[in-house]
Amino acid sequence: MKRIVLFASGSGSNVENISNYFSNNSEVTIAAVLTNKNNAKVIERCNQLNISALYFNRHAFYTSDCVLDILKNINPDLIVLAGFLLKVPEKLVKNFPNKIINIHPALLPKYGGKGMYGMNVHNAVKTNNEQETGITIHYVNENYDEGAIIKQAKTPVSATDTTDDIAHKVHELEYKHFPKVIDSLLHG
């Protein structure tokens, strides 16, 4: 049995998409979803999906070994950041080498780094009149959005696209590619 732990900070749409993708796969389980926001909508989604959801605060993540101990106890095959906004501490990266992946809503190295998430990214793409954007799935290292790239997928951006249009196109790429990449990493 392959075990996945998901980290999320927001609505959990990628968590739900990943859960649905693996729902009929008896060889893969989502062991838990961890969130740094006690009011995140991902908690409601987890309740509906019958997935364990755990909230942790900054101290548990950065100062103590609480989150690290939870992860060691679960012993996941893969840790997936699915809309998770905090920088992963070095101790987690070192304890789970090449086992933590992230999805970023742009074609890295463009529009990566601290503060570049969600609509901030899409606004930058629009402001800079980019002709394409996309997603980057990458390993997590000690720096924001600088880990080795696993996969990129692109979508065109037209001059008439609003930032909401861009966000929609990027979400479609996330939903299509992220679960497949997770599956291939688990069974690769």
Which of 104, 168, 171, 187 is flagged as catalytic? 104
Q: Is the peptide bond before 76 cis (omega within 30 degrees of 0)?
A: no
- For tokens 């080498």, name the residue: 97
End-to-end alpha carbon distance in the chain: 14
β-pairing, 28-35 vs 2-8, is parallel
Q: Is the peptide bond before 105 cis (omega within 30 degrees of 0)?
A: no
- Secondary structure (3-state) at 80: strand
- Secondary structure (3-state) at 89: coil
**Catalytic annotation present for 104:** yes
**Catalytic machinery residues:** 104
